[in-house]
């Protein structure tokens, strides 16, 4: 199986959005149909300042190409080869105070008693890792790490922040990846407005290879 990473062009969103969202829904095990509720949001995100996205494309056999689950991952574009499918996607943008996710983090930190200057410091000058997903077909081969590393290489922001569902004992691939890459707790067990599941906010300083994780202190 040969795989390459590519930068996803915003101008070609029509070519990659469906397979990218299919990968996301499958990786997150969301119910089928969730795709339709995310299309507008992903399109809106790519207009944000500092938006950047990468994808992992894998070449599969002719037989695999037509497997029902995998055929949805084909790209409708000239820059993908005949037997390439999109098996991973990651994107993010520069965080800003007028974004819903930023306001949620501020609300959560304030609710835990953080003074305003500290809330301001934590929620400024960061890159938000909005989505990172590898299709189960391609998980466990280091693609998640490769996507994340490529996505944030050369970013101008001081830090990277993300949110991920809380999982008992931090026992899933997302937690294992983030911990391995030096992410530390920013805020734990936060419930976003409109979603009953608890989430964790994690963060670290950029660049990824550089010293010292970010901490809320």
Smallest Cα–Cα separation from 172: which of 215, 139, 138?
139
- β-pair partners for 210: none
From the list 44-52, 66-74, 75-83, 171-179, the region that binds ligand COA by CB under 6 A is 171-179
Q: Which residues contact 177 (CB under 8 A, 6 or more apart)?
A: 144, 145, 148
Q: x/- string (CB under 6 A) for ligand COA, residues 14-53?
A: -------------xx-------------------------
Q: Does 144 bind ligand COA (CB under 6 A)?
A: yes
From the list 66-74, 92-100, 131-139, 152-160, the region that binds ligand COA by CB under 6 A is 131-139
Assess whether 178 carries a catalytic annotation.
yes
Catalytically annotated residue among 91, 137, 178, 190: 178
Q: Does 141 bind ligand COA (CB under 6 A)?
A: yes
Quote the tokens at residue 17. 């959005």
- Which helix (H) or strand (E) segment holds residue 174: the answer is helix 173-180
From the list 58-66, 68-76, 110-118, 128-136, the region that binds ligand COA by CB under 6 A is 128-136
Residue 50, classified by CB atoms within 10 Å of its CB into exposed (0-12), middle (13-18) or buried (19+), is middle
**DSSP 3-state of 56:** strand
Q: Does 143 bind ligand COA (CB under 6 A)?
A: yes
**Residues in contact with ligand COA, total (CB under 6 A)?**
17
Quote the tokens at residue 55. 């994808």
Q: Does 140 bind ligand COA (CB under 6 A)?
A: yes
**DSSP 3-state of 134:** strand
Quote the tokens at residue 156. 């101008």
Q: Which is nearer to ligand COA, 114 or 137 (CB)?
A: 137
Residue 100 CB, shortest distance to ligand COA, in Å, is 17
- Put the strands of the sheet holding 52-59 in their side by side order: 2-7, 52-59, 84-94, 126-134, 159-165, 198-205, 184-191
Residue 159 CB, shortest distance to ligand COA, in Å, is 17
Q: Which residue has the tokens 């990277």?
A: 160
**Residues with a known catalytic role:** 178
Site residues (CB under 6 A) for ligand COA? 27-28, 132-134, 139-145, 164, 173-174, 176-177
């Amino acid at each position: 199986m040969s795989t390459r990473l590519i930068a996803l062009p915003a101008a070609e969103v029509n070519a990659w959005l469906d397979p990218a969202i299919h990968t996301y829904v499958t990786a997150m095990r969301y119910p089928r149909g969730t795709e339709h509720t995310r299309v507008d949001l992903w399109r809106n995100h790519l207009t944000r300042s500092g938006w950047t996205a990468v994808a992992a494309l894998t070449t599969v056999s002719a037989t695999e190409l037509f497997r029902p689950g995998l055929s949805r991952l084909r790209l409708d574009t000239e820059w993908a080869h005949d037997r390439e499918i999109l098996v991973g996607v990651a994107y993010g943008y520069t965080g800003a105070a007028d974004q819903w996710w930023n306001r949620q983090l501020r609300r959560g930190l304030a609710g835990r008693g953080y003074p305003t200057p500290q809330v301001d410091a934590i929620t400024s000058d960061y890159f938000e890792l909005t989505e990172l997903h590898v299709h189960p077909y391609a998980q466990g081969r280091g693609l998640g790490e490769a996507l994340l590393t490529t996505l944030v290489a050369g970013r101008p922001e001081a830090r990277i922040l993300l949110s991920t569902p809380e999982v008992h004992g931090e026992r899933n691939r997302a937690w294992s990846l983030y911990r391995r890459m030096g992410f530390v707790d920013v805020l734990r067990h936060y419930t976003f407005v409109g979603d009953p599941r608890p989430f964790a906010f994690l963060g670290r300083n950029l660049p990824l290879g550089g010293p010292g994780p970010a901490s809320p202190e």
